[in-house]
Amino acid sequence: MSQNEARYTIRSLFVTGLVAIVGTVVVLELSGSIKHSDNKDHVPVGDFQAIHITPGDTFRMSPKSSELHGVCENGYMAIASDVDPTFRGILVDYKNRGVRCHQPAPQPDEPAQSEEEAGDE
């Protein structure tokens, strides 16, 4: 190696990388490429995944509770918080389509015995 070859220290490489990252973020922010939303109603509540279960297969799941529960809201599955009752979000798939849920139909009350049947006993 020749004596004229430039040497760069780790510190100068680190500072150059940091300045490049900060400069990129500032340019993107000033050009409006970074979108900031003040509307918190359309922010994702969480990231969920479904586990396909077949009979006889076992899967591992954490024994801890997630502090969330599912409710059927207007025919769609909603995730609600156990801690904050106002915190609720509709479950959607990767194309932002709502996941349907089935609410069982209310069972009709037991029919009262007719007077004839009651008199036979």
pLDDT digits (tens, 9 = 90+) for 16-67: 999 999 999 999 999 988 887 777 666 666 777 778 888 888 878 888 888 8
Q: Is residue 14 part of a domain?
A: yes
**pTM score:** 0.45
Query: Which residue spans within the chain are E strands per DSSP?
Result: 68-73, 76-81, 88-90
Total of domains in the chain? 2
Q: Is residue 2 part of a domain?
A: no
Domain-embedded: residue 89: yes
Determine, yes or no, domain membership for 47: no
76 belongs to a structural domain: yes
Residue 1 lies in a domain: no
Domain that holds residue 77: 64-107
Q: Is residue 59 part of a domain?
A: no
Asked whether residue 42 is assigned to any structural domain, the reply reads no
Q: What is the pLDDT of residue 114?
A: 47
